[in-house]
Each structure stands twice: as structure tokens, then as C-alpha cells.
Amino acid sequence: MGIIWFWLVAVMLAAYVILDGFDLGVGALFLFLAKTEEEKTMMIRAIGPVWDGNEVWLLAGGGTLYFAFPLLYASAFSGFYLPLMIVLWLLILRGIGLELRSHVDVGVWRDLLGGIFAFASLLLPVFFGAALANVIRGVPLHPDGYFFLPLWTNFRVGPTPGILDWYTVIGGVLALVALLIHGALWISLKTTGAVESRARLAVSRLWWVLILLTPISLIATMTVHQSTLENYLAEPVSFIIPALVVLSLFGIWQFNRIAKPLHAFLSSCSYLLFMMVGAAFGLYPTLLPSVTPGASDLTVARCISGTHTLSVGIVWWGVGMILALGYFVLVYSMFRGKVNSK
């Protein structure tokens, strides 16, 4: 049951990154790709029916984490309190900017709300990427499984790290670039005209940054968390995961170049999925490593709920997922095709 729930949580978080990732990328590019009010309206319409539904996966992932690994949930939400509050406010500001912008007719207020929407959308991928990097790097766990992290210390990886250091900054920048590409590919899929052309151009330029940052992040991960390769060396077939990451990167470039936006977007989805799966596989069975000498990691065995709880929960989890997937299939099928500015 521990293996099952570990991967259920990992897949749900990957689903959030893929689905909410493209509308975060759209928001971050909002002021760069759209030059006129009509083009801004087109970009908003590209995510309008789905952006708030995509965030359901974040709530579902957090709820599943609380249910399956309560000690990890308690420890992480306590230790990461500061960045979680920042993320919460960014999500609030993003929603305010996006929703109120369409209800305000005064130009200066509309521009201000559009700027808030873009600002919050730009920072969220950075904090999400830094959060994942914190999990991979490890935190200063106390014997009771709790910890506290300041926003930064000396920007070095060690026994007293901060939320931001050189490694987590790499993770934040990588996440931002990957989601900018993801969002630009969604825009090229859903729009036409000048906005589509600018989106494709943005992908072709940002792709070179992503192909540079991806191996840098992998090397940095092996430097910071030296046991990352142990699971891969124990199961050599798992090296197909980084191979699929490389293949996905090539797919983004090739399909964007020949103007096949759906194939390019699916390649971006694959890149995000296999990067997340690769990180999870490298960590298993550790859920949250400790950088404190002598302190134990938070592992699946240490954090897992009782067998009866998990057995009953997986039934209700299945029912919930069937309903959620049915809703998403319905919404995305109704929303298929290009949008316009009307």
C-alpha cells in the first residue's frame, strides 16, 4: 500500500504541474505576447474555462498527502509555512487579477489587474520549482520529524539551508522556463494570428534555455543528493525515464518548428511528467530527506497511515478520480478548438 499511495500522490502532483502549468505559463507571458486589448482578451479566453478547475489537482494532491502520509503533511506544512503563505497570496492575487479584469472597464485599472495577474503567474512557478528542489535537497529535520526553514541563509547547501539557495534557485528558474514554454505551446494551440506566431517564436527561443538548464539541474541534483542514482543503478531499466525526457525535449523543438502545436504541447506534457516521475523515482522510499547529521529521513514506512485506512481510502479515492476525470474530459471536449477575441 505504501508504494501505491506514494505513486498516487506523485501522479496527482504531476497532473497539477501539467494542467495548471500551462495556464501559469500563459499568465506569465500575458504582457509579453499580447500587444493589444483584443490579443489580451484572446489569451484570457484560451484559459478562461479551465484555469480554476486545473487548481483542483493541487487541492486533491494536498488532501491525498494528508490522508496517506499525515506525518509528512504535518511536517512539511509546518516547516514550509512561509513559502506556503506566499504561494497562497500569489494564488489569491492571480485569481483577483484574472477575474476582476474582465469586469472593469477603466483602462488603468484593467492594466493594473492584468499586471497583478502576470506578476503572480510569473512568481508561482519559481516558488513551486524551489519547493520541489527543497524536497529533493532535504531539510533540517528534528528528531520529532519537524523543521523550520528561513527564506534564505547564506545561499549554500548544508546543514542549515534556507528555502532559497543556489540549488533551489536553479529549480525555480528551470520550473519557470519549462512552464513558460508549456504556456506558449498552449497559446499556439488555442489562438491564431500574431499571438500564435509570437508564442511559437517564444518557444523556439526559450527551448535553448531549457535544454541548457535540464542537464545543469540533473548534475546539481546528483551533487546535492548523492543517493539519487541508487534506485536507477539498482533498476537499470529505469534509465528509460531520462531518455524519455530527452525525447520529449526533441519533440517540443521539432513539432513547434513544423507548426504542429498539439504534438508540441503533448511533448511538453511528457517532459514535465517524466521530470516529475524521475525525481520521485530517485527519492523513493524517502519522502523528505534530512540534512541534519544523525536525524532520520521521513520515509514511506515512517509516515504511512494504517492499512485499514488506506484500504477504505483507495475506494473513495477511485470514486473521486472517476468524477474528476469525467468533469475534465467534458470541459476540455467542450472547449476544443481555437478561441477568438469576441
Q: Which three cell numbers stand for residue 228?
A: 539519487
Q: What is the pLDDT of residue 341?
A: 61
Residue 213, in any domain of the structure:
yes
Q: What is the pLDDT of residue 293?
A: 78
Residue 219, in any domain of the structure:
yes
Please enumerate in sequence order all residues whose Cβ is within 8 A of that of 301, keeping only pairs 6 or more positions apart, or say none. Answer: 2, 285
Residue 340, in any domain of the structure:
no
Please enumerate in sequence order all residues whose Cβ is within 8 A of that of 236, keeping only pairs 6 or more positions apart, or say none. Answer: none
Confidence of residue 82 (pLDDT cuts 50, 70, 90): confident
Residue type, 151: L
Residue 341, in any domain of the structure:
no
Q: Containing domain of residue 317, as a range?
A: 2-334
Which H, E and C letters describe 175-210, residue by residue? HHHHHHHHHHHHHHHHCCHHHHHHHHHHHHHHHHHH
Residue 253, in any domain of the structure:
yes
Phi and psi based region of residue 293 (left: phi greater than 0; alpha: psi -120 to 50; beta: remaining)? beta
Q: What is the pLDDT of residue 62?
A: 87
342 pLDDT more than 70: no
Q: C-alpha distances in angstroms, 6 versus 40, 122, 153, 170?
A: 40, 29, 31, 25
Percentage above 70 pLDDT, the chain:
99
| Domain total of the chain | 1
Task: Summarize the confidence of residues 211-239 as an average pLDDT.
Answer: 91
Question: Does 285 sit behind a cis peptide bond, omega within 30 degrees of 0 on the bond before it?
Answer: yes
Written as one string, the DSSP assignment of 27-60 is HHTHHHH--SHHHHHHHHHHHTTTHHHHTHHHHH
What is the β-pairing status of strands 286-288 and 298-299? antiparallel
Residue 41, in any domain of the structure:
yes
Interval 136-188: pLDDT, tens: 999 999 888 888 888 888 888 888 888 999 999 999 999 999 999 999 999 99
126 pLDDT more than 90: yes
Residue 112, in any domain of the structure:
yes
Interval 94-107: pLDDT, tens: 999 988 888 887 77
**188 within 8 A of 264, measured Cβ to Cβ:** yes
CATH number of the domain where residue 251 is located: 1.20.1630.10
Residue 342, in any domain of the structure:
no
Interval 10-55: pLDDT, tens: 989 999 999 999 999 999 999 999 999 899 999 999 998 898 888 8
